[in-house]
Copies of this chain bind each other. A is one copy, B any other.
Amino acid sequence: MRIAVFGGDGFIGWPTCVHLSSLGHDISIVDNLSRRRIDVELGVQSLTPMDSIQERLRIWKQVTGRTIRFELLDIADDYFRTRHWLDGYRPDAIIHLAQQRAAPYSMKSDWHKTYTVNNNVNATHNLLNALVDLKMDAHFVHMGTMGVYGYSDIGATIPEGYLDVGIQDDLGNLISKEILYPANPGSVYHMTKCLDQLMFAFYAKNDSLRITDLHQGVVWGTHTSQTRLHDQLVNRFDYDGDYGTVLNRFLIEAAIGHPLTVHGTGGQTRAFIHIQDSVRCIEIALNNPPERGERPKIFNQMTETFRIRDLAKLVAEMSGAEILHVPNPRKEAAENDLKVSNEQFLELGLKPTTLKVGMLEELVDVARKFAHRIDQSKIPAQSAWTPELQSQISSIVDLGKASRKA
């Protein structure tokens, strides 16, 4: 297949590209390298030493003999160049990862909210729009998030995208309907993924685009079979308060002997998936496209759920680290249950990597190995959801500074 990977330089994008390239697909990356720009903005860097995309591709060619092309292009900003590029490449499938993907970054300031909405909405819409105008029947695979569901408060397992409901008609009869699961986003970032869903529904209905939306959980892990092939093919590893997800931050804290910082009670339950499973899911989704005229196909791309405090306990037991509860910068329920259906991927052959098995390798091969590169000041989450939450966090940060001075 000819596959265009938009956002192919990112955390999911890079291992996806080398995974699909190793399977023999023709891969072209389109990326504006915004994630690297944001590293510069935040003064952070990947824990793993990461080369330029061009150097990565040179090494990939050297190690495997396979060519992956790269186009520097901002698809959110330039519709007509995006259309022109697509018209030249004519892919069989598109993988759309070209979105700002951190909830805390999206809540950092008004500028970051504007940037996230403008970037994410236009990136998605420009691609859909160009496919229609070019009469191109490429399968469109999008990276969404479990966060579109919010967290169920009715004791029902979260289905894969669509929900059966009963509605009363004017004669009092109960009519059964399957609807898109009602959106309940927890941040501006998550909100943009909910907006995506409505655009997908419209373009599938009006233009018969073939669209797959992957509702992914929190991704953990760094290496995949392909990124392990050479040091310079290593995937990025983020541990900062904006882009570092919860397990990464625990591992880093463990590696440097810092207590594991749990937000609030740690009663939040989240869905997880390993990066190797994530790229495998994308492969499975590519091989199982919806038909033309079908509604968007939605998969829940996750393999297990954990309560955050239980996750902290696991890391603490493995590493000997202590646990420290700090104020939660997010506006969310202190405790939630989460049951998720993920039968589609399991039926299509996914064999999950579990946290209990894979976590030690992450601690040893990544967090401890590169511990000398950790900037401890970047670990705390400092982007709060509201001004009130911001002041709670700031007072703690100030306290930390004061205690260091004392």
Contacts and interface: CB of A to CB of B under 8 A. Distances in A.
Nearest 7 A-B pairs (CB), nearest first? A166-B166, A165-B165, A110-B133, A155-B169, A156-B169, A179-B182, A154-B175
Interface in A163-190: 163-171, 174-175, 177, 179-180, 182-183, 185, 187-188
B185 A202 contact: yes
Interface of A: 79, 83, 109-111, 113-114, 117-118, 121-122, 125-126, 129-130, 132-133, 135, 154-157, 163-171, 174-175, 177, 179-180, 182-183, 185, 187-188, 191, 194-195, 198-199, 201-202, 206-207, 331, 339, 385-387
Contacts of A199: 191, 195
Nearest to A109: B133
A129 B154 contact: no
Contacts of A175: 154-156
A385 B130 CA distance: 15
* Copies of this chain in the oligomer: 2
Contact of A110 (B83, B121, B179): B83
17 contacts: A110-B133, A114-B122, A118-B121, A121-B195, A135-B387, A156-B167, A165-B166, A180-B182, A182-B182, A183-B198, A187-B206, A188-B202, A191-B198, A191-B199, A195-B195, A206-B331, A206-B386
A198 B185 contact: yes
B171 A155 contact: yes
A258 to B, nearest CB: 30
Given A179-B182, A195-B121, A155 B133 contact: no
A154 B177 contact: yes
Contacts of A171: 155
A48 to B, nearest CB: 34
B174 A166 contact: yes
Nearest to A79: B114
